[in-house]
Amino acid sequence: MSRTLIELTRACREESLPRGRSRCLLKDVSFALREGQKVAVFSDFNKSANALLECASEVAPLQSGKVEIRANVSWPLPSRGALEGVMTGRQNAKFLQAVYGTPGEEYEQIARIEELAALEPGCFDQRMKSWGPLMRARFDVAVSLVFDFDVYIISKRFPWSQPTRPQLETLVREAFERRVSGKTLLLFHQDEEFLGRYCDEAIVISDCQIAYKGSFPDAQKWFHLNITKSRIEDDSQDQEIEDSSPELIEESPDEVQLW
| Binds another protein by CB under 8 A, chosen from 19, 120, 163, 236 | 120
Residue 86 interacts with another protein (CB under 8 A): yes or no: yes
Asked if 81 and 102 touch (Cβ cutoff 8 Å), the reply is no
Comparison of 85 and 196: residue with beta carbon closer to another protein: 85
Q: Which has the closest alpha carbon to 50: 142, 188, 148?
A: 188
Kind of pairing between the strands at 201-206 and 38-43: parallel
Which residue, 41 or 135, is less far from another protein as judged by CB? 135
Q: Write the binding mask 125 to 154 for another protein: x where contact by CB under 8 A, - elsewhere.
A: -------xxxx-------------------
Instruction: Check binding of 24 to another protein (CB under 8 A).
Output: no
242 by DSSP, 3-state: which? coil
Are residues 38 and 184 in contact, defined by beta-carbon separation less than 8 angstroms?
A: yes
Of 34-42, 90-98, 193-201, 214-222, which segment contacts another protein by CB under 8 A? 90-98
> Which residues have CB under 8 Å from 97's CB, separation 6+?
106, 109, 110, 113, 146, 147
- By CB under 8 A, residue 94 contacts another protein: yes
3-state helix vs strand vs coil in the chain, percent to 5: 35, 25, 40
Quick one: which of 7, 9, 28, 95 contacts another protein (CB under 8 A)?
Answer: 95
Minimum CB–partner distance for residue 192 and another protein (Å): 23
The footprint of another protein on this chain (CB under 8 A) covers a number of residues equal to 47
With binding defined as CB under 8 A, does residue 170 bind another protein?
Answer: yes
* 8 A C-beta contact, residue 28 and residue 21: no
CB 34 within 8 A of CB 57: no
Q: How many CB atoms lie within 10 A of CB 239?
A: 18
Member of 4, 34, 87, 190 binding another protein (CB under 8 A): 87
Residues making contact with another protein (CB under 8 A) = 57-59, 61-62, 69, 73, 75, 79, 81-82, 84, 86-87, 91, 94-96, 98-100, 103, 107-108, 111-112, 114-115, 118, 120, 132-135, 165-167, 169-171, 174-175, 178, 181, 247, 249, 259
